[in-house]
Structure 1
Amino acid sequence: MAPGLPTAMDRPHFIGIGGAGMSGIAKILAQRGAKVAGSDAKDSATAEALRALGATVHIGHAAEHLADDASCVVVSSAIRADNPELARAAELGVPVVHRSDALAALMDGARPLAVAGTHGKTTTTSMLAVALAELGLDPSYAIGGDLDAPGSNALHGDGEIFVAEADESDRSFHTYAPEVAVVLNVELDHHANYASLEEIYESFETFAGRIVPGGTLVVSADHEGARELTRRLAGAVRTVTYGEAADADVRILSVVARGLRSEVTVVLDGAELTFTVSVPGRHYASNAVAALAAGVALGVPAADLAAALAAYTGVKRRLQLKGEAAGVQVIDSYAHHPTEMTADLEAMRAAAGDARILVVFQPHLFSRTQELGKEMGQALTLADASVVLDIYPAREDPVPGVTSDLVIEAARAAGAEVSALRDPARVPDAVAGMVRPGDLVLTMGAGDVTDLGPLILDRLSK
């Protein structure tokens, strides 16, 4: 049976309860019987989904939102020290718990499977959650994105397995002690928290060192950063590699595009296995093979898991079709790192045939744009035309001299057709003036650019 409710978390208060990671933990606690409360900057479908589970969700941050009988306050690294609810917690002597510690407590007593990597965590975690549920194993899961509806990023299941997305951005994945850990790739990102690639490697080594005795590390054989991590671990943990590389333990023989699907053939334990992945692109096929290898490491039969993986049909914001109007399809992409942008654009290029691809891109974070703005611009050369918005700041303050012009100038220097558009309200009209029937429009980025998809479709339908 799945673990129950951690004693100190029977009346938790979440600051920023609507966030992807926070809302998932809140949802599981509510499903386990906790009296959940919290606050968020704005109302949302996620907040409403939490209310439907009995949670109290306040809009805005104020000291009075924190109940006197709260057993703990849960925060993420995005919560600032001057938050009034945090100050009130100090006055009342209420313990403050980091999101990762709360998630680790939820996994206590389960068989944890933690998915890490610079890119692909949400997709791979989602694939595992869907496939294991399809097989009747009733896993618990906590994912950084919604599967099919607001609030579907987490579930309390009665099975033994707990699948969790493990976030490296603030080193919080060091809290977990998984039976199986997955590392999809290792690259320099999250520049506000890591000064070098060496620090990233050290962080992932610490994560791998948290695997329980007798556990397994599933790691890419194709990504150089992941291979370097494997070399550094040098047999310190049981390792299973996957990928197209000739020395991979679970080797990908072929990935054949079938429209917006892929047919994947692998060799596992000397036998060939072919299955379908219901999303396009080699990187998503690779994620599915990582999920396959991880499930097998937990003891799930390979053939059963391969068939169940076909039940995965995508996660919100990962090449999600938002709709079609006037012969134009609008697709939403969460890609915000150059590697992710390139992978999604290559996947769409392979699936689109002769169709034109137009991108509405919103850079995410000043620190990331400062370090990788040039590479973001170069990635946009894979589109036929792009519109670039201002930087979405999220938790960061502006950095002098760092604007989306860094992306625009790099894109133009690389030969891309790019225009700047500061006002998001003008995007639907601008896109309507650019497209023709048969085109694909991608809204791309980790910020609120996702809100533009429905507005573009509405404009195109008129």
Structure 2
Amino acid sequence: MGRKIFMGGICGMGMAPLAMFLRDEGCEVSGFDDNPNPAVKSMLLQKGVKFCESKKPDFDADEFIITSALKYVEQNLKDAPCKKFLRRGVALAEIAKERRLIGVCGSHGKTTTTSLISHAISTLNLDAGYITGAIPNGIPPQKFCEKNKILAAELDESDGTIENFSPEITVALNGDLDHTDTYPDLKSLEEMFARLFSRTKKYIVIPEGDGLLKRAAGSAKAETIFVKCPKDDFMMSDKLMALCALNLAFESDFSLSVFEEFKGVGRRQEILKDDGEILAVADYAHHPSEIAAFLSWLDKNSPQKKLVFFQPHRYSRTKRFAKDFQKILQSRADKGDKIYILPVYPASEPFDESGSEKNIANSNLMLANFQDIGHILNEFKRNAESKFCAAFIGAGDIYFYAKKLF
């Protein structure tokens, strides 16, 4: 057996695929999770990953890999019996350094785009590997590959670990400001992309019309490929970006048909219930642009009036984008949709009143708690003249609550 690795938050969407890849690489992997997803835990156990009751390893681990989202991480690092501490992004970068990386990044769409590339690699049995940032439907969340082979992976700028990657192909989906606690303004975001593009070895793939990404790629040595993407169809945009990356990486001429059997990704436009009374849909959207795009998609697939529950994610993001959230959601209320704002999911952030959900709410965007949802749904159902749509939006625990509810 190879290195002994302990992982904190091992059932997390990005952590579990990484754990399975490391297990396939021959590492002895164990870990802990505050609230493990049963399906993910089962997947990990089948791979031979061990679960521990303690937040610290009870053995002399070679590495302790952590997710930045965990509250307990910092207080457990100093005296844990490990030789090396790594954040998830740094651990992923170490794997990628020895492989030909297709790195997918951007404020939104990267999980779906990475999963689309992974779907093609899996279903076409291409000589390559992948590590997704979530749990895709219909394929494993990871596929192992040896060193010097093509590896597709999602790069996360939220905690700055994107600075550790030097892809062969960089797929940058958008240059929207999001994680303002790490890159506080558009200037710093553009500089981050410029650094990433300068480290890119062969190709930079960006959508036509994104001025920030075009400027960032301006002085890079790698060839920049512009992809024409529709403005009102994010799923097709993701497919076109994924297809371009596939054809560049494998020097091939694949068509969009390689994605025909793609079954989506958990928490992305996920149908929770669809019967004669209600269509319940959950989505991971937590940036203003993502919410607008998701609700626009929902309009095309569900023309009836909507009951929307939105859980903001992180105080820092809510503080920065409160007015944008309010504008988008108010436009829905003006059309007759009922909008409820749930308490902020803080992740690892301390409470900040200036970034609370109250900064989004108004007389049309009503505050609610989780225990109110069942009553609100029943009341809406009683007054609905026909089938209605309930949307659960956010990157926090709203998804797990909605899953239990239905």
Partner of residue 217 from structure 1, selected from 180, 204, 219: 204
CA distance in 1, matches of 2:214, 2:372: 45
Give the C-alpha shift of residue 77 in structure 1.
3.1
CA distance in 1, matches of 2:280, 2:172: 31
Tell me the CA shift for residue 105 of structure 1: 2.6
Partner residue, 2:52 = 58
Secondary structure of 2:156 counterpart: coil
Structure 2 equivalent of residue 347 of structure 1: 297
Query: Distance between the aligned counterparts of 2:397 and 2:54, measured in 1?
Result: 18
Q: Deviations over 1:111-132 (max 9, x none)?
A: 2100011111101101111022
How far the C-alpha of 1:236 sits from its partner, in A, is: 3.0
Pick closer, same or farther for the CA change 1:352–1:325 going to 2, 3 Å. closer
- SS of alignment partner, residue 352 of structure 2: coil
8 Å contact kept, 2:71–2:347? no
| Cα offsets for 1:6-36 (capped at 9, x unmatched) | xxx6211112222222222111111222110
Q: Partner of 1:140: helix, strand, or coil?
A: strand
For 1:117 and 1:183, how far apart are their aligned partners in 2?
5
Aligned residues of 2:17 and 2:134 also touching (Cα < 8 A): no
Matches within 5 A, 1:91-102: 92=81, 94-102=83-91
1:271 matched residue in structure 2: none
1:312 and 2:262 matched? yes
Superposed CA offset, 1:124-152 (max 9, x none): 10111102222220532122211127x94
Deviation at 1:82, TM superposition (A): 6.3
**C-alpha distance in structure 1 between counterparts of 2:83 and 2:405, whole Å:** 46
Structure 1 residue 283: deviation in Å? 1.1
Query: Hey, what's the Cα distance between the residues in 1 that align with 2:296 and 2:72?
Result: 41
Unaligned 5+ runs, structure 2: none
| 1:75-94 → structure 2 map (5 Å cutoff) | 75-79=66-70, 83=74, 85-89=76-80, 92=81, 94=83
Check conservation: 1:427, 1:456, Cα contact below 8 A.
no
Aligned-pair identity in percent equals: 25
Q: Does the 8 A contact of 1:140 with 1:162 survive in 2?
A: yes
Q: Match for 2:59: what amino acid?
A: A
- Match status 1:119 vs 2:72: no
CA distance in 1, matches of 2:72, 2:368: 34
Are positions 1:373 and 2:349 aligned together? no
1:85 Cα shift?
4.0
Superposition pairs of residues 7-22 of structure 1, within 5 angstroms = 10-22=3-15
Query: Aligned to 2:372, which of 422, 426, 432?
Result: 426
Q: 2:94 aligns with which of 105, 116, 121?
A: 105
SS at match of 2:269: strand
Unpaired runs of 5+ in structure 1? 245-251, 256-280, 458-462
Q: Distance in 1 between matches of 2:10 and 2:82?
A: 21
1:334 aligns with 2:287: no
Structure-2 change in CA distance of 1:403 and 1:79 (3 Å): closer
Determine if contact 2:103/2:167 at 8 Å carries over to the other structure: yes
Aligned partner of 2:32 in structure 1 is 39
* Length-normalised TM-score, structure 1: 0.80
> What residue is the counterpart of 2:355 in the other structure?
402
The match for 1:242 is: 227
Report the equivalent of 1:278. Answer: none
Distance in 2 separating the partners of 1:86 and 1:56: 20
Q: Which amino acid aligns with 2:391?
A: L
Establish whether residue 295 from structure 1 lines up as the match of residue 280 from structure 2: no
CA distance in 2, matches of 1:43, 1:455: 15
Question: Distance between the aligned counterparts of 1:24 and 1:82, measured in 2?
Answer: 20
Distance change in 2, residues 1:80/1:308 (3 Å): same
Match of 2:236 among 272, 277, 285: 285
**Larger RCO (CA under 8 A, 6+ residues apart):** 2
Following TM superposition, by how much is the alpha carbon of 1:453 offset from its aligned partner in structure 2, in angstroms?
A: 2.4
CA shift, 1:84, in A, is: 5.2
The 2-side partners of 1:317 and 1:164 are apart by: 18
Aligned equivalents of 1:143, 1:16: Cα separation in 2: 16
- Once the two structures are superposed, residues 150-192 of structure 1 have per-residue CA deviations (whole angstroms, 9 ceiling, x without a partner) of x943232469321100111122112122111101111222122
**Contact 2:317 2:355 (8 Å CA) reproduced:** no
Equivalent pair of 1:131/1:311 in contact (CA under 8 Å): no
Give the Cα–Cα distance (whole angstroms) in 2 for the partners of residues 310 and 300 of structure 1: 21
Query: TM-score, normalized by length of structure 2?
Result: 0.90
Which residue of structure 1 lines up, in the alignment, with residue 119 of structure 2? 130
CA–CA distance in structure 2, aligned partners of residues 143 and 82 of structure 1: 23
Paired residues, number: 397
Matched with 2:149 is 160
Q: Give the structure 1 partner of residue 345 of structure 2.
A: 392
**Partners of 1:324 and 1:351 in 2: how far apart?**
12
Distance 1:235 1:59 in 2: 48
